[in-house]
Structure formats: C-alpha cells, structure tokens
C-alpha cells in the first residue's frame, strides 16, 4: 500500500476513549455521539487511547506513562479535598493562616473521635450562651456519601458513631422554596493545578428535599437531606409539589429566573460561590505535578435565608447517573463541554507535526518512541505543544535514529504502532463530526458548531452570563485560542468554553502568582481586594429582598 493511501485511511480515525468498569454510561454515550470509538484492549496498543475515564484514582504508573495525546480524568491526590475530614482540616488551616473572615464559608466542623474534647467545649459554650435554643449539629461518616449514615441532633446524648465522622454545625435556617430545603450541585473543572486553572459550570442542579423543612422532625431525611439518592425513595418524589413540581431537581437556569422574579441579585450570589470554589482549591495546592489530567469536582453549596452560600462538601466523581430529564439536560451538555475544554485540537497539532515529521523521514516513528521522549521533556497540559515542537519535521529524524539504535532495526509501521496520524488540516472537531451518525439534533449541533468555529475556537458567545466572571476586564485582553499551555508564558486560559467559565486566574496578578508554583499569599491578597469590591451596597440590596423569597 502507498504511504499516502495509508494516511488517507488514517485521517478519519476517530478519537478513542477508554472506560474503566463502573464509569458512567452517559460518558460512553456522549463520546459515541461525538464520533469517538471505544478502546479495544485486544486490538489496540496501550498508547492508542485519547481519554481514559475511571471512577477511582489512577496508579502513579498511569500518570508517569501518559502520552501527549492522552488525558486522564483524575489528578493524583485530588482526594485531599473530597474526603470530608481532609477538607475540614485544610479549611481550618487556611482559616488559621488567612483569617476567618475569608474562610468562614464552611460550617464549623470537628473530626471525631480526635476532636471530641474540642467539640464538647464548643457544644457547652453554645449551650450556655444560647440557653434552651441550642444549636443543631449534623454528624456525617467521612467515608460514606449519598447521605448514608447521616444523623442530625441537638442534644449530645443523641450523638452516636462507630467510625470516623465529622460533626458539623447544621445550617438550620436554609433558603426554602415553598417550604422545601434545597442545595446546589455545582460542577467545577480544574484543567491544571499548576498553574491553577479553574472553570465553573454555569448550568447545574438544584436539588430539593421532598418533604417540607421542619426542625421538629430531625430524623426525617426527606425533609433535611437533599440527596437524590435518598429522596427518590420518598413518598412525595413522584408527586407534584406546589412551587417545585414533580421529582426533586431544577436546573440553575430555572433557579436564577426564580431568584430574579423576586429581585434577588443572583450575580452577587454567584460571585460569592466562585470565591468559595477558588479559596477551597487554594487550600489543597500544591498538588503533585501531573501531566495531562483534569478533575471534575461536584461542589455542594447550601444557601441560607440570608443568601449566604455555605460549602457542605466537595465530591470526587460527582454523580453522572441520569435519574430524570433535568439530569439528562445538564449532564449530557456538561460532558460535551468537558470534551471541548480538553481541547483535543492540541492533540491534532501534535499529530500533524508527527505526520510532517514522518513524511520528511518517510518512516513512521512508533508512538511509544515519540511519546516517550516527549513525555520526558514536558510537563503539564502543555506537553503537547512542547512535543509538537520537538517532533516537528526537522527534529523527528534524531528520534527515528534513536529508535533504530535502541531496537537495532528501523521502525516500520505495524498495525498497532502506526495509528491516528491525521492530515495537517484536520481538527479533532471536524473528525468528530465526520464520524458522528447524522440525526436531526446532530445536524443542528453541526450548524451551531460551524457558527462557533467561524467565531474562533469554542467560546460560546452568550452575553447573558458574562457577568459571572470575577473580573471581566481580565478576559477581554489578549486571549489565547485554546486553554492553557504551561510552556507558553504569554498565554492565558480561554475565558469560556461552552458553559464552562474561567474563574481562576481572574486577573493579571492572580495569573502571575499561579505561574511558577502557587503563591497563595499573593492570590489571597487579590481575592481580598475582589471581595471588598463585591460586597458593599449590593449585599444590602440582597438583604432587602430576602423576605419576599422565603415567604413564598
Ligand atoms: P454526602 O456525601 O453523604 O452526600 P453531604 O455532606 O453532601 O454528605 O450531606 C448530605 C446532605 O445533607 C446535603 O446535601 C445537605 O442537604 C445536608 N447537609 C449536609 N451538611 C449540612 C449542614 N452542615 N447543614 C445543613 N444541611 C446539611
């Protein structure tokens, strides 16, 4: 076969995803919808996938052997903020270092049994000062999720536990809609911990309890917990609930419209939530440097009746089950936008350079050879760009020679090694479209994509929510056409990809402070400036409206 025929056949090779058992079904569905194919262990080489998705952490060897064209859906040690006790410890440390004014967004917490004495002292102090109207507490096992093993109590004699738990101040004055408690599931994607690059997702889920809030029945989980995994078993779940509807979920869009009807300043609320996200992630930096991974976190935010947002916990592997049509709408689009955010165009750039290099040498360099040298030379998501440079037409020849020296023979294209070298002009988006089965909705999406491509890479030109950005000015100047590349000092991350909005870095100073190792102190200084600009008159404005909403 002529080499060019081979290239032509390879041009349309779709991107490849690899799923570990238990990975959510919707991840497979979305990637297939986008024209990707699933990795076949029997047929393909270990290096032949582009995205590996699993629900548990990767082994360090997976991180070390990552290739420039690959992405993993977890960072090493992301669990530092997703376990309730670790999170509580990190936030306490930050409170000690940077002041409780900034870090008072998470309810006071004690890790039991270690903090038992401290808890007793706090509990007694509260009892004395508040008399009979003592505080409410919530006890949560650190190793469980989905509302399992949770206990709410007022009197210490009701506190029982047989494993490590956190006992947290219970927010007893939550924002209620028609008497129902709610919390927000906010999706946050960190595309790099070094430099720190954080996107929050504008769409998300509002999760309701399915029975009316009542402090007189602390053991009624359907009134006090908002987990869908619990409420879907409640008697009222399917029923129509006045003011809420059936089921237990709204989208953020619906919630925002609702707030606006009552004149609530939703913009200020979201700014505060974004600050919480940044301050929480700063608490766990630095994480070990790892290339080509990203992390999708689920932040659980409770809003109280004064519109103060509280961080309840951060979830690793936020649920991607589709329990209802609201889930379907939000989570499918979320996954599409994650793929956009991962920017497989960079991978194409890398591959294009490989093709150029390969043609110059008239031989293919095995992926393992090119990738191996590449991975050693680069770090972070910028790996591809560095590699693209070092494996360009002029530099591929030494790599080829190295392959000859190490193996004693010339590298020839084998079925397993010579895959996925697209033609120069090809982008991953184009290839995804070519491989997508045509449906009316995909045709509509295609038209939309064309429109977006005409306007430059991906940023979706919704003007409606640009105010969610902490500092819009920062995003106006000198944008990159793709998300972060560590190696390019002048670049900054793109401000919006689909419904993902960049919230960190939010200005020049924050960008500088996050470049060569995270300078947390300088970043906190910038956040303090930001917060002082955000708060005044607007807060009073919000307070005025509270009465209207809670009385609904
Ligand atoms: P899990 O990991 O088991 O879901 P969470 O911390 O998310 O644990 O708590 C489950 C639910 O309990 C939350 O969605 C919220 O409705 C409620 N909850 C948790 N902590 C508090 C708190 N401090 N104050 C009020 N409600 C809380």
Q: How far apart are CA 87 and CA 14, in angstroms?
A: 40
Band of pLDDT at residue 12, cut at 50, 70 and 90: low
Q: How far apart are CA 497 and CA 337, in angstroms?
A: 7
Percent of the chain with pLDDT over 90: 54
Name the nearest CA neighbour of 464 among 418, 427, 496.
Answer: 496
- 480 in Cβ contact with 486 (< 8 Å): no
Interval between CA 175 and ligand 1 midpoint (Å): 14
- 500 in Cβ contact with 483 (< 8 Å): no
In ligand 1, which atom is closest to the CA atom of 147? Answer: 3
The secondary element (H helix, E strand) that includes residue 356 is helix 344-361
> Ligand 1: which residues within 6 Å by Cβ?
107, 138, 140, 144-148, 150, 168, 170-171, 183, 225-227, 300, 302, 312-313
Distance of CA 227 to the CA centre of its chain: 19
In ligand 1, which atom is closest to the CA atom of 144? Answer: 3
Least confident of 169-183, 368-382, 439-453, 529-543: 368-382
Least confident of 8-17, 72-81, 431-440, 508-517: 431-440
Q: Has residue 386 got a pLDDT over 60?
A: no
Q: ω before 505 within 30° of 0 (cis)?
A: yes
Q: Cβ contacts of residue 331 below 8 Å, gap of 6+?
A: 26, 320, 322
Compute the average pLDDT of residues 532-540. Answer: 59
Looking at the chain, the number of H-run helices and the number of E-run strands are: 21, 17
Which residue among 225, 299, 309 has the greatest number of ligand 1 atoms within 8 angstroms of its CB, and so is best to mutate? Answer: 225
Q: Has residue 398 got a pLDDT over 50?
A: no
Tokens 């939000």 identify what position? 330
- Beta strand 51-53 with 16-19 is parallel
Angle at 260 between CA 254 and CA 261, to 5 degrees: 90
Name the nearest CA neighbour of 273 among 393, 197, 347, 183.
Answer: 183
Band of pLDDT at residue 486, cut at 50, 70 and 90: very low
Interval between CA 228 and ligand 1 midpoint (Å): 12
Mean of the per-residue pLDDT values of the chain: 76
Report the sign of the C-alpha dihedral through residues 317, 321, 324, 327, in that order.
Answer: positive
Q: Cβ contacts of residue 407 below 8 Å, gap of 6+?
A: none
Report the sign of the C-alpha dihedral through residues 216, 221, 226, 231, in that order.
Answer: negative
- The alpha-helical segments, DSSP class H, found in 408-519 are 428-435, 440-454, 472-476, 508-513
- The alpha-helical segments, DSSP class H, found in 214-324 are 221-224, 228-231, 252-261, 266-282
Q: ω before 293 within 30° of 0 (cis)?
A: no
Which residue among 139, 144, 150 has the greatest number of ligand 1 atoms within 8 angstroms of its CB, and so is best to mutate? Answer: 150
Band of pLDDT at residue 455, cut at 50, 70 and 90: very low
Least confident of 23-37, 249-263, 467-481, 498-512: 467-481
Q: How far apart are CA 309 and CA 312, in angstroms?
A: 9
Q: What is the DSSP string of 376-397?
A: HH--STTHHHHHHHHTSTTTHH
- pTM for the whole thing? 0.78
Compute the average pLDDT of residues 76-103. Answer: 93
pLDDT, tens only, 244-300:
999 999 999 999 999 999 899 999 999 999 999 999 999 998 888 888 899 999 999
The pLDDT of residue 213: 98
Coil, helix or strand at residue 120 = helix
Task: List the end-to-end C-alpha distance of the chain, in Å, as a whole number.
Answer: 73
pLDDT, tens only, 321-374:
999 999 999 999 999 999 999 877 655 555 556 556 554 433 322 222 222 222
Interval between CA 147 and ligand 1 midpoint (Å): 7
- Beta strand 180-193 with 205-208 is antiparallel
CA quadruple 68, 74, 75, 78: dihedral, nearest 10:
170
More confident residue, 357 or 71: 71
The pLDDT of residue 370: 23
**What is the token pair recorded at 303?**
């809003």
Q: How far apart are CA 547 and CA 505, in angstroms?
A: 36
Q: How far apart are CA 504 and CA 281, in angstroms?
A: 10
Q: What is the DSSP string of 40-96?
A: -TTTS-TT--SEEE-SSPPPHHHHHT--TT-EES--TTTHHHHSHHHHHHHHHHHHH
Compute the average pLDDT of residues 483-494. Answer: 55
R_g of the chain computed on alpha carbons: 25
Least confident of 127-131, 158-162, 438-442, 542-546: 542-546
Q: Has residue 498 got a pLDDT over 60?
A: yes
Coil, helix or strand at residue 8 = helix
Tokens 């490590």 identify what position? 164
pLDDT, tens only, 125-174:
988 887 667 799 999 999 888 999 999 999 999 999 999 999 999 999 99
**What is the token pair recorded at 528?**
């303090």
Compute the average pLDDT of residues 422-431. Answer: 42
Q: How far apart are CA 225 and CA 196, in angstroms?
A: 33
Interval between CA 110 and ligand 1 midpoint (Å): 15
Band of pLDDT at residue 391, cut at 50, 70 and 90: very low
DSSP assignment, residue 287? P
Distances (CA, A) of 87 to 299, 334, 522: 12, 25, 22
Q: Has residue 525 got a pLDDT over 60?
A: yes
In ligand 1, which atom is closest to the CA atom of 227? Answer: 14
Band of pLDDT at residue 14, cut at 50, 70 and 90: confident
In ligand 1, which atom is closest to the CA atom of 169? Answer: 23
HSE-CB at 198 with a 13 A cutoff on CA atoms is: 28
Q: How far apart are CA 399 and CA 161, in angstroms?
A: 60
Which residue among 147, 208, 224 has the greatest number of ligand 1 atoms within 8 angstroms of its CB, and so is best to mutate? Answer: 147
Coil, helix or strand at residue 162 = coil
Angle at 109 between CA 105 and CA 112, to 5 degrees: 160
In ligand 1, which atom is closest to the CA atom of 141? Answer: 3
Which residue among 177, 227, 231 has the greatest number of ligand 1 atoms within 8 angstroms of its CB, and so is best to mutate? Answer: 227
Band of pLDDT at residue 105, cut at 50, 70 and 90: very high
Per the document, the length of the chain is: 552
């Amino acid at each position: 076969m002529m080499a060019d025929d081979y290239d032509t056949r390879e041009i349309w090779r779709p991107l490849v995803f690899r799923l570990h058992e238990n990975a959510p079904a919707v991840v497979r569905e979305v990637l297939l919808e986008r024209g990707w194919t699933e990795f076949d262990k029997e047929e393909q080489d270990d290096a032949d996938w582009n995205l590996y998705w699993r629900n548990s952490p990767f082994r360090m060897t997976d991180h070390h052997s990552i290739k420039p064209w690959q992405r993993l859906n977890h960072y090493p040690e992301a669990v530092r903020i997703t376990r309730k006790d670790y999170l509580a410890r990190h936030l306490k440390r930050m409170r000690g270092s940077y002041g409780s004014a900034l870090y008072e967004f998470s309810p006071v917490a004690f890790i039991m049994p270690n903090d038992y004495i401290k808890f007793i002292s706090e509990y007694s102090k509260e009892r004395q000062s508040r008399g009979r109207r003592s505080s409410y507490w919530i006890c949560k096992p650190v190793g469980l999720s989905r509302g399992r093993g949770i206990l709410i109590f007022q009197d210490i004699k009701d506190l029982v536990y047989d494993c490590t738990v956190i006992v947290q101040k219970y927010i007893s004055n939550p924002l209620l809609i028609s008497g129902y408690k709610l919390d927000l599931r906010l999706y946050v994607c960190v595309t790099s911990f070094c430099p720190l690059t954080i996107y929050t997702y504008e769409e998300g889920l509002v999760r309701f309890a399915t029975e009316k809030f009542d402090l007189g029945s602390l053991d009624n989980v359907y009134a006090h917990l908002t987990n869908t995994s619990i409420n879907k078993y409640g008697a009222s779940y399917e029923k129509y609930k006045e003011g809420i509807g059936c089921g237990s979920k709204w989208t953020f869009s619906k919630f925002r419209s609702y707030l606006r009807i009552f004149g609530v300043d939703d913009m200020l609320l979201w700014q505060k939530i974004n600050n919480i996200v940044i301050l929480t992630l700063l608490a766990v930096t630095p994480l070990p440097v790892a290339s080509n991974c990203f992390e999708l976190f689920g932040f659980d935010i409770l809003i109280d009746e004064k519109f103060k947002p509280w961080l309840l916990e951060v979830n690793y592997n936020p649920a991607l089950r589709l329990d209802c049509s609201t889930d379907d709408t939000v989570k499918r689009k979320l996954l599409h936008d994650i793929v956009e955010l991962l920017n497989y165009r960079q991978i194409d750039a890398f591959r294009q350079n490989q093709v150029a290099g390969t043609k110059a040498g008239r031989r293919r360099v095995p992926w393992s050879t090119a990738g191996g040298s590449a991975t050693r030379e680069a770090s972070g998501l910028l790996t591809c760009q560095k590699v693209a440079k070092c494996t360009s037409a002029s530099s591929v020849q030494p790599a080829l020679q190295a392959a000859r020296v190490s193996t004693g023979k010339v590298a020839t294209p084998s079925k397993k090694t010579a895959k996925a070298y697209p033609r120069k002009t090809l982008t991953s988006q184009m290839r995804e479209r070519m491989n997508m089965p045509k449906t009316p909705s995909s045709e509509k999406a295609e038209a939309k994509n064309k429109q977006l491509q005409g306007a430059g890479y991906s940023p979706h030109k919704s003007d409606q929510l640009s105010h969610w950005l902490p500092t819009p000015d920062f995003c106006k100047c000198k944008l990159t056409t793709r998300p972060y590349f560590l190696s390019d000092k002048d670049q900054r991350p793109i401000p919006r990809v689909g419904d993902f909005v960049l919230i960190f870095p939010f200005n020049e100073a924050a960008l500088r402070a996050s470049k060569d190792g995270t300078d947390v102190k300088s970043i906190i200084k910038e956040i303090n400036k930001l917060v002082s600009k955000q708060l005044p008159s607007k807060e009073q404005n919000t307070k005025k409206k509270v009465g209207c909403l809670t009385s609904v």
